[in-house]
Amino acid sequence: MTRRYWSAWIAAALLMGSASLIGGHSATSVATPMASDPLATPAAQTELNWLANLPNPSSTHRVVSGYFGGYSGTADPSTGKNWASELQEITGIGPTPSVLTLTGRQPGILACDYGAGWANPVPVPTSIDTSCDSDLANWARPSAGGSGLVSVSVHMPNPAATATSPGQPLPSATFEQIYDPATSNGVTIQNTFDGYLNDIAAGLQMLQSDNIPVLFRPFLEGNGNWFWWDGQTPNDFRALWRYTYNYLTSQKGLHNLLWVYSPNCNGSASAPANPGATADPAAEYPGDAFTDIVGLDCYFGGTDANPLPTPGSAILSQYEEMTLLGKPFAFTEIGFGTNNDTTTAYPDSALIDMIRTYFAGTVYFLCWNAGNGPVTNAAGSATATSTLFKDPWVINQGSQIDLSDPVNPSALGVAVRIRG
């Protein structure tokens, strides 16, 4: 085992409260991971520390629940996406079932996506929309009745979009122009991309002004083959991530972000778009100095998703590979396959039992919505939703999220500082 992976293993073990490093006796340990941004706000650093210490054997509540609220505004009217209506799947109190009406609880994390424009034939003015910020702020702000965490992802529009297959992976030569333009056309592509970053930054700055940390998740599922940023070589993917990181932190002054790296758990099912691309979920890892949390986007059930794990399942080795990176781990998207809309495939407790049994180091899970979510997918019935959010392991919005209170202070005083 190399020094890098030995250090990562120690970090991961301590993050999960491992007793194996102290003679096999049961004990708790406190991880103190440093945020990747040296100028991270105290609130962002505190949230990272709190999350990192959740997977602890002595803790009753071990994992934060989350739910995708939808795409901000009406960023993609052709699909009917609308933040106000999608959010009702979580907070609605009318006749249509919601997390609130089925469970009497609200998820610990509310997630919004600033862009649904990745599949538009050409960029449109509403490709980036940040109007969900007010709801995110209220979710996190105790003075507004909230006590939760917030996450922002971005299905970013293609800066080199044409009318032909705008969502498909870009050729390497075009992709590289975004972060290192070599031609006048490349400068145009980069300027377009920077314009998207400026719009994204405006929304994130509003949350920073309210002292709200953001679990920020750009370039999701980069090891797939369905987005324009997919199917790139690991070096190219890392270069774009780091360009984006430096632009938002250094140029735009955003220090409330916890950067979340979230590949897909089964990668690309077909040939990669560019030579050198890979479906390996850890291969494109941007680096310790550019990442705070690692995760997997995983869906279960039917022919378009994964079976629930059993001993020896491939997803278990992927989870191990991700935790070896030494960062807190999350299921950054989780749900049921869309073709299970009319099939009850699994027991009501399937998702939380899976986490408890095979992925005990998970700090949060983020349910996707609509056909993939537990509320409206028949594979996750109303009982399944209640079982998930009422499980003793699960932390929902409310008093259990108290970032001023350390999680399980260590009797041994063990602390780890992880820095890339």
Q: Domains of the chain by range and CATH?
A: 34-410 (3.20.20.80)
Amino acid at 143: S
User: Which segments of the chain have a pLDDT < 50?
Assistant: 1-29, 342, 344, 380, 406-420
Report yes or no: 187 and 140 within 8 Å, Cβ to Cβ. no
List Cα–Cα distances, 214 to 88, 140, 180, 251, 287, in angstroms: 22, 10, 28, 18, 19
pLDDT at 210: 94
E strands, 11-142, in order: 30-31, 63-71, 109-116
Residue with tokens 């309210």: 210
Torsion, Cα 244 249 252 253, to 10 degrees, reads: 170
- Of 229, 225, 205, 333, the closest CA to residue 270 belongs to 225
pLDDT at 414: 27
**Torsion on CA atoms 310, 315, 317, 318, rounded to nearest 10:** -160
> Residues near 42 by Cβ (< 8 Å), separated by ≥ 6?
none
Contact criterion met (CB below 8 Å) for 98 and 89: yes
Distance CA 295, CA 155 (A): 17
Share above pLDDT 90 across residues of the chain, in percent, rounded to a whole number: 54
pLDDT, residue 381, reads: 59
Q: Which of 323, 263, 269 is nearest to 297 (CA)?
A: 263
216 three-class SS: strand
